[in-house]
Chains A and B, each alone.
Chain A
């Protein structure tokens, strides 16, 4: 490798360590790293801004903006609170069933929307429900963060790593549903069973308190029925268009941004107010990451790594897939899974291409998605949803320590990977070969 390539590797490594250590805000690090890559000549404006292979992935950025706009409007309708409280009331206040309902609602919402928004919406409802039942709220919050990470794995739009993988691999929304959703349903069942054991001391409620749940009036949550109908119609159209995007010849990013803008235009809401809900710092973080990874592509580092990986994987795709699954989970537990997947995607793309791009080679993409997404559960800092839940709990006076979360996280991650490993082997290498 050239001196420039080694310099790019050093810049990238320093940035990665700084992101992992959280000593400096991740947006500053990503943008700072991108600027350094530009200054040392590892990339240039043309590559950084316009190259599909080594620049900002505008499909990812635009898709995220579109989905964030849709969520920003939908959260103003009260529909999430309505669904959560309606569902909890169906359990007649039985604590374990309440937990199951909250897990399922969180997972399904996370599959359709981003994880952080989902936990931001479900956590306040959880505080209310647990206060009414006089049960400890912490186990419920931990379970929701994990359910969010698991549910988000099921779809193309469910978790940012999946959006990156979709853009780099060309895999469609339906591909994600067909390959990931079935195993995620099974993982959810196992996770619920595990929650019954892990949080077994949290399901005793006074029958008197249970009545408090039934007194909640979920209909009061809906304060703008017109906006609700409009929001659900647009979300329905967007979901159908996602599923049909290959037939419609529309990128998911175009579907999302059209849906977001149409919803905003007809919502009668203040556009400036809604736009404030778009997480612009996160988008800048993505942009900085893409430029840094693009610099590694430009300088040949990614090709070099991919060549090693392709040699190692050649003829051993099953082993490589399982290795990628577990390796991704370990790394995603330590570092945010977004930079990890942004870096690994070009490598995996090269290996899949080198292996002919068939069903077995594509198993690497699913191993990457499953490992990176489910690995986020491993530690308290493994995924944004975990960090957000812990922050909300602390603000409400319920501190969740790093190890308190992580001891559950390690168990859940290990068990969920033990469930997904045979799935990858059986589906792609035993029955799919």
Chain B
């Protein structure tokens, strides 16, 4: 399904391999969907087609997260079914199918990417690594972790949980 982060080292016993591979898949399942969504979000109004998403993912993750075709398209299909993304097929030429994030999808993506970022930062010490959130670029809602881009900051309330964020923004000197 995904490129194995744990390589099949010669001599690695089967039981270990099976366990590691199962665990890897479990970890990767949600991350893959979120990463695909992130790529589609990056492309904004231009949209992205399947192969482009796959290439971008490989490049941006330095080939650490490679989603195979058999996995990519079912994920895209599920996201479209859940109205997180929408698609449009080219009318001319290769008739590629371009995927775009919906307004609802953007809301879901901001919330999940905020949640994932906060969680990653929180668990980082467990593995003796450091993760630093870009606090100068994003504001993470203290109540629900929703990621709010400071460039687009207009509302005083978190659009997911309705938490009043003005006070926190003021304390951090983010309100001009």
A binds B: no
Interface positions of B (Cβ within 8 A of A): none
